[in-house]
Structure 1
Amino acid sequence: MPRIPAMAPADAGPLVKVAYKYAAHKFDEVPEPFTVLAHHRKLFVASARHEMAVQKASTVLPAHVREIAIYRVAWTIGCSWCVDFGTMLQRLEGLDVERLEHIADYADSPAYSDDERAAIAYADAMTATPTEVTDEQVEDLERRFGRDGVIELSYQIGLENMRARMYSALGITEQGFSTDSCRVPWADGDATVMKGPGS
């Protein structure tokens, strides 16, 4: 249960209710971070707009490279919600989610391409405190993905650091997006309702 409770639809204003309805249609359930952020309506709106704009603008990198770098950040920070949701996004992209079981051994695993290994290593270097990115690393990424690809990768890794750290701090945990059922964020304890895809 998050440290700040989810805002139920009954307590939400018209704009948040519309956003909940859209998210539930898209993902079969409202993502819990939405329901926590809804307590601050202006940031809720800013975040939603930003996420949609970033998704629309991120067209340079191959999806498998972008998503594995984002997943690695979530896994490294330990944000179980981000890992859960990220697994679902990769599945919806038609990517191989079985390879995620080998993320700890990505450097030697045949489940990952050289481009994916380079993106994961960069995600690790950016996520380290302090950051450990080298000139050689950026030059290598630029050869692989172009200058705009490096910017996109850096932006996505930085954004996931923000998400994962914020959600972890607020106690938001896995919701079930990567499985056949999903926890309803505003349900209490024993009253938790599980939903399957399309329900």
Structure 2
Amino acid sequence: MEQHQPNPNGHHGSKLNRQMLGKLLVVAVMMFGFGYALVPIYKKICEITGINLLTPKDSMVGDIKNTQVDKTRTITIEFDANVQGPWRFRPTVSSMQVHPGEMAQVVYEVVNTQSRSVDAQAIPSYAPQQASGHFKKMECFCFKQQTLGPNEAKQMPVVFYIDPALPKDVKTITLSYTFFEIGGLGKKAS
């Protein structure tokens, strides 16, 4: 017959277990509280240092004004399109007037005239050449390859602004895109 030996610590062992459990619970609650408090601390540190600024709430966006817009200057932007492939490609407007620093948008239309899918890429060029470093695109179909289905038409926006540091003697900039097929005619219809 097996003999059961009493716990040498008696009830003292379960009391130590309860104390340890209590301490662990307090530590876990404190860790959670510290992690929860880090969010406002992080936001405040970013605000003070000016790094990783968070986007303002949508309700505030209407009140924000771009102080970098130079209303004393007007630049004419001319839009051009060249094609090297099976499509029609053109800007929806031939030109527009913008102030340096002002956000603007133009839309280019492309139509695949083939009964097969095509992959294409647009490459921009600027005239005068010195304007290229001052033409800042925020959104552009030229950032990635485009796939056009058979006979598909697309409207593709370009959102941009002209850097106010553009030399004062530049009054007109031409943005020209060449839209060309990638992979050539060897691609099979999908």
Q: Which has the higher helix share?
A: 1
Q: Which has the greater radius of gyration?
A: 2
- Tell whether the structures are fold-level matches, with TM greater than 0.5: no
Query: Under a length normalisation based on structure 1, what TM-score does the superposition of the two structures give?
Result: 0.19
Q: Which has the higher strand share?
A: 2
